[in-house]
Amino acid sequence: MKLEAGQVGVVTGAANGIGRAVAAALVDRGLRVAVADVDADALEQTAADLGDQVIAVPTDVAELDQVRALADRTLAAFGRVDLVVNNAGVGAGGPSWAIDPANWNRVWSVNVGGVVNGIHVFTPHLIAAGHGHIVNTASLAGLTVGMFGAPYAASKSAIIAISESLRGELGLIAPDVGVTVVCPGPVDTQMFRGLTELAAPDGAAQQSETMPPEVLAQLAPMMDAIAEMAKDIVPTGRAAEIILAAVESGKLYATTHPVMAHAARERVDTILESFGSPAG
C-alpha cells in the first residue's frame, strides 16, 4: 500500500514510543491521523505536538465499545480509514506461576484483545473501501520466547498467529487489504527503558531487598541479556520507518534487528528437529 497525502491512519498506543513515532511519520507523509491511548493526558499532548491533522481519542483497546467509538470518531472527523495500526500493549514479568492472574488477564486483554477488537471493528471498513492495510504490533519475544516474561511473550505469539491467519483470509476475500505484523527487538520505549533500569546496578540493588539471593542468581542471565540488548537499542523513529516501509512493500513481517535472526532460527530448528527425518 502506497502511503500518500489524503489518506487516514489510526494508531493505538500512540501517546508515546513506537505508536507516537508511527503517527508522526504518517503526518510527515501528509496523512490525517486518529491517535488513541488509555493515557488521555499524554495523548492530548501528542496530538497537540503533531498538529491539526491529528485527533486524539482516549481509548482502552481492551474495551470493544471504546474501539467502536474510536472508529466512529475517526470516520466523523475524516470520512475514511486507510491504515490501522494496532500497537497498544502492556507487559508483566516474573516466574510464570507467581504472576497474579489479574496481570495475566490484563496483558491478554490489551495485547491480544486490543488487536482482536481493532481487527473486528476496522477490517469491514477496509474491505468495503477495497483497499487498506492493518499493522499489528507483536515482538521479537513472540518469536524467541525467553524466561520470566510468559504473559507478554504468549500474547505476542498470539498476535503473530492472528496476523498470519488474517493475511491469508484477506488474500482470498480482499486482496488489496494488506497485513503486517511488527516484531521489534529493543526499541527506545518506556517499556524497554523500564527493563534496562531493572538490569542496571541500582535496579539490581533494589531487587536484592525483596528477592532471595538464589532467585537473583537465577535472574542474572536474563538481566545480563537485557543489558546486552540495550547496547543495540533502536530509536522509535527508526522503528517507525521500518514499519511503514514494510507497509508500502506489502511485507508480512517487520523486524528491527537483523542481528537477532539467529535466535528465531534456533527456535525454529529446535521445532523442526522434533519431527525427525522425513519419511523416505
Q: Which residues are part of the catalytic machinery? A: 152
Give yes or no for a contact between 110 and 61, defined as CB atoms under 8 angstroms apart: yes
Main-chain phi, psi angles of 235, to 5 degrees: -60, 150
SS3 for 10?
strand
CA dihedral 152, 154, 155, 159 (to 10 degrees): 130
Q: How many residues does the chain have?
A: 280
Give yes or no for a contact between 215 and 204, defined as CB atoms under 8 angstroms apart: no
CA–CA separation, 103 vs 111, rounded Å? 12
In terms of Cα–Cα distance, which of 206, 12, 202 is closest to 116?
Answer: 12
CA distances from 181 to 8, 88, 149 (A): 19, 13, 20
